[in-house]
Amino acid sequence: MGDDYMQNEIEELRAQVAELTAERTASAKEQAQASNDRPPASESAEKASGTTESTEVSDLQSQFQELFETIDEELKAANPLTVLVVFALGVLVGRLLPR
């Protein structure tokens, strides 16, 4: 009986992995298609003006801003007791880990 249960669990996990892989592939294709839709820019002009580095920095800053906004929304939507319990568990685990 235990072997049947384990087989079923393994099959379900394989199905989930296949589904996630398909989703990742689809999103990668969408991103590639979106990047192909943008008009091509002259790389030599970007390198000469130094906009490549500033674009990367601004892109990184916008990603961090989006991350912080998402975390803020999640914290506002979360149950305060849940947040407190997760924080307490983090402190407990941190204290139990060897240094």
Q: What is the pLDDT of residue 66?
A: 94
In a domain, 42, yes or no: no
- Shared domain for 33 and 56, answered yes or no, is no
**pLDDT for residue 35:** 73
Looking at residue 45, its pLDDT comes to 53
Q: Is residue 43 part of a domain?
A: no
Q: Are residues 62 and 98 in the same domain?
A: yes
pLDDT, tens digit, for every residue of 31-43? 888 777 665 555 5
Count up the domains in the chain and report the number: 2
Average pLDDT for 11-28: 87
Q: How far is 60 from 52, CA to CA, in rounded Å?
A: 12
For residue 30, give its domain range.
Answer: 1-37
Decide if 59 is inside a domain.
Answer: yes
Predicted TM-score (pTM) of the model is 0.35
Closest CA to 83 of 66, 71, 93: 71
Q: Both 57 and 17 in a single domain?
A: no
- Which residue type, as a one-letter code, is found at position 92? L
What pLDDT digit, counting tens, does each position of 47-87 carry?
Answer: 555 667 778 888 889 999 999 999 999 888 988 899 899 99
